[in-house]
Structure 1
């Protein structure tokens, strides 16, 4: 069985240890380095239709199959934490597609259409990654990761851009918070995901919109100086 080690502090990365013929699957843009003995090939990770649906989310049509022996290192696109999810075959998870980092061979990577408004209003697209099967999945959360276990009938309201993933049994609807004044001056705090248990929810403390807004002053300075 492949070995996984989460390394780093505020900027985490995932070290993968592969024995002979052991394989893991990863999003191509996240590979930092690998042993020369590790072979790499592109695969749909679940068939042609799974690849097509995944491409519609904005993710890659192909995922990388890394086959040992040797090591590989994977990292996210921004500072953050790595979240390990253990799937036992009883329930799928739905994840923001750009958060996907790696999965074991027993996991299938597909895509699912969410209700109009869920990802779109959160700036993440209408389709989410659907991960099903048995094995470990690794997601990357910008900022820090928050894990909440909702009991039957228990619910939370999460700002839509902060939703990282949730178990498929969790009910999710989108609602607007506040009136016209909030919409004009509230920036991204306008749309909330109402999430109702039972099931597990993973949130990230930093949304992509927050990250972009935080960088805009620096980008403006660089633009003005060129």
Structure 2
């Protein structure tokens, strides 16, 4: 496992201490600095087909591959917390803008919820999919809210707050309200779409959504 530390409070930085031969890949744009000894290259992780499937989720076609020895650091684009998750032959589905980095041994693909989501109902949902063995680092805006759902326990999560959840959980998108809800929700779009998720499994959420943050800034700036 790659040696790492997380530094900072509201604006955290992931510090990766790469040994010779250690490789990680990251979403382009998140690297803060690296030692000159760390090699950086842009690659289509998993090949062309997987890269195309990832691009359907909104992710970049190419990822930044960094190889040690040396130190490399990265951070999110907004205030928040870095979330380290260890995979052990399991998979996790992630909202694509929440991904920071992962070890080379972790596979990176995409997943689409079934359009007929069984008893939960709802529409399809594109998510990035990480599987295999190794570390994945995610970024939660504002802070992290985590639920550990029991068998049969079901929650509805406002869609822009969803960060990640364990693969194998039943899920789908539900539209809430009509025209009145859409008008009253304003720029934030709060309450228009909820993601239904049913346990067992872990669910990770942003304490603040990008929509909320953007709307608050626009009000202050009076744009």
Specify the alignment match of 1:131 in structure 2: 130
Q: Mean alpha-carbon deviation: is it higher for 133-142 or for 50-59?
A: 50-59
Among 189, 193, 196, which residue is 1:194 paired with?
A: 196
CA distance in 1, matches of 2:21, 2:178: 57
Specify the alignment match of 2:25 in structure 1: 25
Q: Compute the displacement of 1:54 (Å).
A: 1.4
Q: How does 1:1-40 map to 2 (within 5 A)?
A: 1-40=1-40
Q: Mean alpha-carbon deviation: is it higher for 198-207 or for 167-176?
A: 167-176
**Structure 2 counterpart SS, 1:29:** coil
- Report Cα offsets for 1:156-190 as digits up to 9, x if no partner: 11111100001111111222334543332134222
- Specify every segment of 5 or more residues in structure 1 that has no aligned partner in the other structure, as ranges: 119-124, 222-226
Q: Compute the displacement of 1:25 (Å).
A: 1.0
The alignment yields a C-alpha RMSD, in angstroms, of: 2.0
CA distance in 2, matches of 1:126, 1:177: 16
TM-score, length basis structure 1: 0.88
Q: Compute the displacement of 1:219 (Å).
A: 3.9
- Specify every segment of 5 or more residues in structure 2 that has no aligned partner in the other structure, as ranges: 118-123
Specify the alignment match of 1:69 in structure 2: 69
- Conserved 8 A contact 2:148-2:201: yes
CA distance in 2, matches of 1:58, 1:148: 26
- Conserved 8 A contact 2:125-2:173: no
Among 193, 198, 211, which residue is 1:209 paired with?
A: 211
Aligned residues: 214
Specify the alignment match of 2:156 in structure 1: 157
- Conserved 8 A contact 2:83-2:137: yes
Specify the alignment match of 1:50 in structure 2: 50
Q: Compute the displacement of 1:97 (Å).
A: 0.6
CA distance in 2, matches of 1:71, 1:27: 17
- Conserved 8 A contact 2:111-2:128: yes
Q: Mean alpha-carbon deviation: is it higher for 54-63 or for 80-89?
A: 54-63
CA distance in 1, matches of 2:8, 2:41: 28
Change over 3 Å in CA distance of 1:183–1:28 after alignment to 2? closer
The answer to whether the aligner puts 1:143 opposite 2:142 as a matched pair is yes
Change over 3 Å in CA distance of 1:174–1:9 after alignment to 2? same
Q: Compute the displacement of 1:127 (Å).
A: 2.4
CA distance in 1, matches of 2:24, 2:130: 14
Q: Compute the displacement of 1:77 (Å).
A: 1.0
- Conserved 8 A contact 2:113-2:171: no
CA distance in 2, matches of 1:30, 1:11: 13
